[in-house]
Amino acid sequence: MQKKSSLIIAREYLSRVRKKSFIIMTLIGPLLFAAIIIGPMWFATLEDREVRIIAVVDSSKLFIDKIPETEYLKFEYLENTTVDQIREDFSETHYYAVLYIAHIITSAPSAVQLMSDRQPSLNIRMHIANAIEKELERQKLATYNIDNLEQILATIKTNVNIRTIIWQDDGGEKESHSELAMITGYIGGFLIYFFIFLFGAQVMRGVIEEKSSRVVEIIVSSVRPFQLMLGKIVGIGLVGLTQFLLWVVLSFTLVVLAQQIFFPDLGTPSSETVVPEDLFSSSTLHQSQPIGPDDSGRIAEIFSSISAINFGVMLGAFIFYFLGGYLLYASLFASIGSAVDSETDTQQFMLPITIPLILSIIVMMNAIMNPEGPIAFWFSIIPFTSPIIMMARIPFGVPIWEVTLSGGLLVGTFILTTWLAGKIYRTGILMYGKRVNYRELWKWIRYSS
């Protein structure tokens, strides 16, 4: 019996890992993951070197020469000119856009328009908005007759970067990164959703193909139907696990190589430390330049944050919840495949299975924003949603008893669903030409061995 099961598992496993689609996805997946991590940081280092000139029509006369220019963003302040006059031959001018500031700007801060024959970039819009906001604030503060206003405004500007520290049971401390935990939790939960749906559907399609081609009649003459179902589920599950492990190894290798190629000089972010007792001293207040890491330092901090993730815990949790969730849903997909004659007949049975998975994706966003809330807790305990929701919560830290309870219920539930699916599979795999409904499935479950 064990030898027959091993042969079925090996057949399902080898027939799929040898396919071109498996090899292509195994190679493309790590490239996409590495691009997601490295791409934004690399693009952040690139500068837009196109010089853009914006014509400014300031009816209020309050912001002339007040909007700071950059190396590639310039402003021309026009007098005795209207927007309509500029628009008539705008395409022949060298202007990127026209900025109109109405005379009622002080009472209606939204009375600012940026007009162009193209969509202005968000960076330019935010640069102008911030400049106008600061100038309005400065002018309003000036009405209070404060001496040395410019110097005070320069010295009170402070950038706050809140570090989060977790106290550990052994008395130690560990720095955490909430944003990175959110991203890690979302990726982990979504990957489990993706793998369960992808490989669970493969189980269903495999059963339907064997049933429609009548190959299954030959197979069940030498093995029990339950062995066949279990062998197919385990074999395809090992394919998914193999692909995931290859993705982890290749993605890690590509990220390390990309770091060495694109950011070879990254080191520990450097920043000046201000001791608390000197924080409000006169020397500190008169520093006009903000203290903080430069761009390369911030990128190095990102890599440092990534290295702070406990990948051992994440990998172990992913493997457990992937296998548990996959075995639970794959048994249900297998029972659906055995009950129908074609893939078009699966729609009536797919809805009850897909609803918990889709609901998990929706609830996952709440779990990431509030990982200790009651919604996140209960959905991480319910077996049909726990693989995705618990995976999203684990980067934030979950008590051991919650993980134990969630894992125990998941194991017990997939054992139950596998047993029920085996009863449906045993009868349905050899039944042809009959349209099956839920009442018929209930009869199959009640059949004695």
Alpha-carbon gap, residue 241 to 252, rounded angstroms: 17
pLDDT of residue 293: 44
What pLDDT is attached to residue 320?
A: 92
Percent of the residues in the chain that have a pLDDT greater than 90, as a whole number: 10
Residue 306, pLDDT above cutoff 50 = yes
Both tokens of 226, joined, read 């339950």
Which two three-digit tokens encode residue 112?
């600012």
Going by the DSSP 8-state scheme, the letter that residue 103 receives in this structure is: T
In sequence order, the 6+-apart residues with CB closer than 8 A to the CB of 366 are 373, 375, 376
- Other C-beta atoms closer than 10 Å to the C-beta of 257 total 12
CA distance 386 to 372: 14
Question: pLDDT: is 360 or 286 the higher one?
Answer: 360
Arithmetic mean of pLDDT, 169-198: 79
Predicted confidence at residue 389, as pLDDT, reads: 93
Note the pLDDT of residue 388: 93
Radius of gyration of the chain (CA): 31
Lowest-confidence pick of 15-19, 129-133, 188-192, 299-303 = 299-303
Say how far apart CA 387 and CA 63 lie, in whole Å: 56
Q: What is the pLDDT of residue 59?
A: 86
Cβ neighbours, 10 Å, residue 401: 8
Highest mean pLDDT among 5-9, 110-114, 277-281, 376-380: 376-380
> CA nearest 298: which of 161, 176, 178?
161
Tokens of 151: 């110097």
Please name the residues in contact with 126: beta carbons below 8 A apart, sequence gap of 6 or more.
none
- Which domains are present in the chain? 2-39+176-446 (no CATH), 52-156 (3.40.190.10)
Query: Is it the case that residue 143 has pLDDT exceeding 50?
Result: yes
Per-residue model confidence (pLDDT) at position 205: 85
DSSP 8-state code for residue 18: T
How high is the pLDDT of residue 274?
A: 42
Q: What percent of the chain has pLDDT over 70?
A: 77
pLDDT above 90 for 419: no
CB 212 within 8 A of CB 341: yes
- Whole-angstrom distance, CA of residue 381 vs CA of residue 439: 30
Do 405 and 381 meet the contact criterion of CB atoms below 8 Å apart?
yes
Among candidate residues 424, 187, 419, the one with its CA nearest the CA of residue 309 = 187
Contact of 328 with 383, CB cutoff 8 Å: yes
Q: Is the pLDDT confidence value at 124 over 90?
A: no
Measured CA to CA, the distance from residue 300 to residue 312 in angstroms comes to 22
What pLDDT does residue 387 have?
93
Any residues with CB less than 8 A from the CB of 189 and at least 6 apart, and which? 360, 361, 364, 367, 388, 389, 391, 392
Residue 408 has pLDDT above 50, yes or no: yes
The helix or strand, by DSSP H or E, that contains position 382, with its residue range, turns out to be: none
- The answer to whether residue 383 scores a pLDDT higher than 90 is yes
Residue 398 has pLDDT above 90, yes or no: no
As given in the structure block, the two tokens for residue 316 are 């172990």
Residue 287 has pLDDT above 70, yes or no: no
Tell me the average pLDDT across 379-386.
93
Q: What is the mean pLDDT of residues 281-299?
A: 44
Please report how the helices 400-428 and 374-381 are oriented relative to each other, as an axis angle in degrees rounded to 10: 40
Q: How far apart are CA 436 and CA 432, in angstroms?
A: 10
CB atoms within 10 A of CB 281: 11
Where is average pLDDT lowest: 114-118, 346-350, 407-411? 346-350
Tell me what the pLDDT averaged over the chain comes to. Answer: 78
Distances (CA, A) of 102 to 69, 87, 97, 110, 382: 21, 17, 16, 9, 58
Question: Pick from 33, 68, 46, 41: which is nearest to 248 by CA?
Answer: 33
Predicted pLDDT at 272: 42
